[in-house]
A and B are shown apart, each in its own frame.
Chain A
């Protein structure tokens, strides 16, 4: 099969357009990768400061991995006081059942099992309705100091303690359910978590000492 001049020109033009576009995208991707990582780190840092009680360490630096299933770990950010004792943890808990897709919730939990604070770090909920989980501070503050036992972990419509929003019940319901799941997870694993936090801290101290 042969192509005439016209067809060759068309193919060549499309090839050049694709090549230039791909090159440009590769360059921009490389150029923005650093700033994007930095922006995400900054956002995480800000959220951590909001969900953890006052602390004197850098939770980002003291992050350790905690196994939740075979070959599956979650990142846990511990908050420590001046003496180096762990006073709270923060980790991301994922709600798979938002109104539109998953919601990621960063929850800060004191060692005693009370919630220090929660923040939503990622969601695709309807702007103006479900995004109250980000904007509505009163609603977010209702989680503070709640434990497994001192609250009914349902939205008010279902007979619980947490408000739903006008026009949006599914979103808050998903968040409440997931935070509750997080607390159950903590209760089951708190001993292991504490052990792990200290072994990791000791290891990094030894490494620091060797240097």
Chain B
């Protein structure tokens, strides 16, 4: 029996999470880790992957238990699930990625309050089947990682003239300190958002043009 769930296209779910409904670019969620850790591309990348890991597990579990959790207590139940997963990620990082843990350690617990994760549990995983929820988590998580990596890269390049710790702009480049500081994060994010909007407008224009052409073609055929 075909249910409404199965009509969702996996590619659409992924694209939606990665780009059109991107946690940072479209929803402006998860600003705390965004501002806190994106001083370098590497920090942003690993924070993104840690968030992706938590998001995959939380969407999986929430989607599995969605039939059993009464509506009245779903939020506390989800928070307990997410908080436990974050703690697991924190312990695992401490054990097997000790150097990264020393850098990101402070921000890992904050993944719990990243509303992008609770948002996905509430808006998607609690209403959809396991495989769709995993695709959604993958798209959202990778989109989040991409956003953090991009912002971290821009700030590292402008603030220190480096990318992933490699000197790119040469020693003569005067480091623009502002971009390392929190205001620089907002400024860089503003320009990135403007760029994203330009891309989205072009995409929309293209789509409209195609639709227009199809309409005209249809009209001519008639």
The answer to whether A36 touches B94 (Cβ under 8 A) is: yes
Q: Which of A16-24, A58-66, A67-75, A78-86 contacts B (4 or more CB under 8 A)?
A: A16-24
Q: How far is the CA of A40 from the CA of B94 in the complex (A)?
A: 9
CB-CB < 8 A to B73: which residues of A? 10, 13-14
The answer to whether B70 touches A9 (Cβ under 8 A) is: yes
A4-39: CB near B (< 8 Å → 1, else 0) gives: 001001100110011001001100110010011001
Q: Is B160 an interface residue (CB 8 A)?
A: yes
Q: Which of A120-128, A149-157, A170-178, A202-210 contacts B (4 or more CB under 8 A)?
A: A120-128
The answer to whether A10 touches B72 (Cβ under 8 A) is: yes
Tell me how far the C-beta of A183 lies from the nearest C-beta in chain B, rounded to whole angstroms: 26
- The total of chain B residues at the interface (CB under 8 A) is 35
Q: How far is the CA of A124 from the CA of B43 in the complex (A)?
A: 14
Instruction: Choose from A6, A14, A126, A128 the contact partner of B76 (Cβ within 8 Å).
Output: A14
The answer to whether A13 touches B103 (Cβ under 8 A) is: no
Tell me how far the C-beta of B55 lies from the nearest C-beta in chain A, rounded to whole angstroms: 17
The answer to whether B180 touches A36 (Cβ under 8 A) is: no
Main secondary structure of the interface of A (DSSP, over half): helix
Q: Is A159 an interface residue (CB 8 A)?
A: no
- The total of chain A residues at the interface (CB under 8 A) is 28
CB-CB < 8 A to A191: which residues of B? none
Q: Is B177 an interface residue (CB 8 A)?
A: yes
B19-38: CB near A (< 8 Å → 1, else 0) gives: 00000000000000000010
Q: Is B203 an interface residue (CB 8 A)?
A: no
CB-CB < 8 A to B180: which residues of A? 126, 128-129, 167
Q: How far is the CA of A43 from the CA of B94 in the complex (A)?
A: 12
A sample of 9 more A-B contacts (CB under 8 A), given A6-B70, A13-B73, A17-B77, is A10-B70, A13-B70, A28-B92, A32-B94, A40-B98, A122-B102, A126-B39, A126-B180, A129-B39
Contacts from A to B (Cβ < 8 Å) = 6, 9-10, 13-14, 17-18, 21, 24-25, 28-29, 32, 35-36, 39-40, 42-43, 122, 124, 126-129, 131, 166-167
